[in-house]
Amino acid sequence: MTQQANKRRSIELGLCALSAAVVVGAYLLTVFADRTDLPADLVVFLGMVLGLVGIAHIAVRRLAPRANPVLLPLVAMLNGLGFVTIARLDRDLGRIQSLWIAVGVLAFVVVLMAVPRVRTLERYRYTFALLSVGALLLPLAPVLGREINGARLWIRVGTLNFQPGEAAKVLLVVFLAAYLVEKRELLGVGTRRMGRMLLPDPRHFGPLLLAWGVSILVMVQEKDLGSSLLFFAIFVAMLYVATARIAYLAAGVGMFAMGSVAAYQFFGHVQVRVDTWLDPWPVSDGQGFQLVQALFSFGSGGFAGTGIGLGSPGKIPNAETDFIFAAVGEELGLLGTTAVLVVYLLIVVTGLGIALRASQPFLKLLAMGLTTILGIQTFIILGGVTRLIPLTGVTLPFMSYGGSSLVANFVILALLLRISDETASADAAALVAEAS
C-alpha cells in the first residue's frame, strides 16, 4: 500500500471511530432514559453493528486502498443512529435490522471483490436494462406480487418478502450510464428544427419515452408515487448531464407533470395522497393520521429535542420505516435533524466529487447516477415527512428499517468507493508515467 493510500485509510479509520463514539453515546442515552426498557442483548447487536463497520473498513483497506476516506464513516454514522432509533422503537425490529446490516456489509464486500474494474460492467448494458425492467415490474406478477400498506412493491418467496425495485434502481443506473456514453453525441446534436430549437432525431427519444411510461405505470399499478418519481428523476438527471441540453430537463419535467395530473384525475389512490398532503387535518383520524402525528412530533421536538429516549415517536405508525426522520426530529429537535441533513449533504457532495474527478465518461456518469439515487431518495422521503411534497413510501437511505433498501444502498456505496479507487489509481499511474 502506498503512503497516500495508507493515509486515506488512516483518516477513514479515525472517522469511523468518531462515528462509533456518536452511536454508542446515543445508545447509552437511550438506556439511561427513564421511560425505556431495552433488553440487555441489544448491546450484543450494537456491538455487531459496530464490528461490521470495522469489517467494511478492512475490506476497503484490502480491496480499494485509494478510495475516498469519507463516505464509509458518514454511512456508518447514519446506519448506527438508525439502528439505535429502530431498537428504541421496536426491539425486535432492532435485532432484525442488525442482521440486515450484516447482509448489506456482505454485499458491500462481495461487490468490491467481484468488480475489480467498474468499466467491465459497461459491456453488459442491455442485460442490466432487461434485469432492471423485469425487477421493477415483478411486483405486478399475480402470484409473486404482494400489496403491503397500500403499495404493491413486494414479492414473496417462501417466508421472505423483499422489494425488487431496490435492485432495479442500481441496475437501471448502470444501463443508463453505459447507454448514454454510447449515444451522448447523437442525443446532444440537433438535426431537426422546431421553431427556434434544434432537436435530435426523434428515434433517440425512445428511451426517454420508455422511462416516462414505466414511471407512470409504477405510480398507477403499484401505487408507488415515490419510486416512479425516483426512477424518472434519475433518468432525466443523467440525460441532462450526458448531453448538457436543457431541453431534455424541461421535457422531462413537463412529461412527468402531465402524467401526474392525468393520474390524479383518473385514479383514486393518487387523489387520496395529494389531498392528504394538501390538507391532512380533516382526515387526521384516518388517511392523514400518520402525517399529522409526524407534524406533532416535529413540534414537540422544538429546537433541541426532548432528548434521546424521552420522546413519544412510537405514536407515529411505521415510525421505524417511512417516518424515522420524524422520530429523530422529536428527540433531537431542529439541531439533530439539521445534523442528519448535513451528513446526507456531505454524502451527496462527496459522491458528486467522485464523479467530477473520474476521467472516463462511463465512470463519471455512473458515479453521478448512483449519487443521484441517494440524493433524490433522501429528498423524496424527507419532503413527504415534512409536507413539502406528497407522502411516498420510499425509505430514508441507511437509516430506515428495511432489508432490500439497505442492501441496495450498500451496493451503491461499494460501487462509489470502487470508482474512487480506480480514479485515484489511474491518476497515480499517470504521475508515475510522467515522472519516468
- For residue 221, is pLDDT > 70? no
The cell for 93 is 425490529
Instruction: Tell me which of 12-21, 23-32, 359-368 is least confident.
Output: 23-32
Quote the pLDDT of residue 93. Answer: 87
The candidate with the shortest Cα–Cα distance to 422, out of 63, 15, 4, 54, is 63
Residue reference for cell 434485469 = 131
pLDDT at residue 254, as a whole number? 82
What pLDDT digit, counting tens, does each position of 61-83 carry? Answer: 999 999 999 999 999 999 999 99
pLDDT at 103 over 90: yes
- Each residue's pLDDT tens digit, 378-425: 998 998 899 888 877 678 999 998 888 899 999 999 999 999 999 988
Highest mean pLDDT among 153-162, 208-217, 403-412: 403-412
Predicted confidence at residue 143, as pLDDT, reads 67
Supply the pLDDT for residue 72.
95
User: Is 250 within 8 Å of 258 (Cβ atoms)?
Assistant: no
The pLDDT of residue 374 is: 94
The pLDDT mean for the chain works out to 83
How many Å is the maximal CA-CA distance in the chain? Answer: 74
Confidence of residue 199 (pLDDT cuts 50, 70, 90): low
Instruction: Tell me what pLDDT residue 148 has.
Output: 63
Report, as an integer, the average pLDDT of 226-245: 80
Is a pLDDT exceeding 70 seen at residue 155?
yes
Q: Do residues 42 and 48 lie in contact, with contact meaning Cβ atoms separated by under 8 Å?
A: no
pLDDT of residue 330: 92
pLDDT digits (tens, 9 = 90+) for 341-387: 999 999 999 999 999 998 888 999 999 999 999 999 999 899 889 98
Band (pLDDT 50/70/90 cuts) for residue 90 is confident
Distance CA 4, CA 427 (A): 12
| pLDDT over 70 (residue 1) | no
pLDDT value of position 399: 92
Instruction: Classify burial at 234, counting beta carbons within 10 Å of its beta carbon; exposed 0-12, middle 13-18, buried 19 or more.
Output: buried
Q: What per-residue confidence (pLDDT) applies to 416? A: 96
Measured CA to CA, the distance from residue 409 to residue 166 in angstroms comes to: 8
Q: What is the pLDDT of residue 112?
A: 94
Q: Is the pLDDT of residue 191 over 70?
A: no
C-alpha cell at 324: 424515522
Nearest to 112 by CA among 420, 427, 430: 420
- Report percent pLDDT > 70 for the chain: 83
Q: What is the pLDDT of residue 366?
A: 94
pTM, full prediction: 0.91
> Which tens digits make up the pLDDT trace of 269-295?
778 888 888 888 888 888 888 888 988
Question: Higher pLDDT residue, 189 or 137?
Answer: 137
Can you give the pLDDT at residue 290?
86
Query: From CA 147, how far away is CA 139, in angstroms rounded?
Result: 8
Question: How many Cα atoms sit within 13 Å of 67 on the Cβ side?
Answer: 26
Nearest alpha carbon to residue 398 among 330, 334, 307, 328: 328
**Tens digits of residue pLDDT in 107-152:** 999 999 999 999 899 888 888 888 887 887 777 777 666 666 656 6
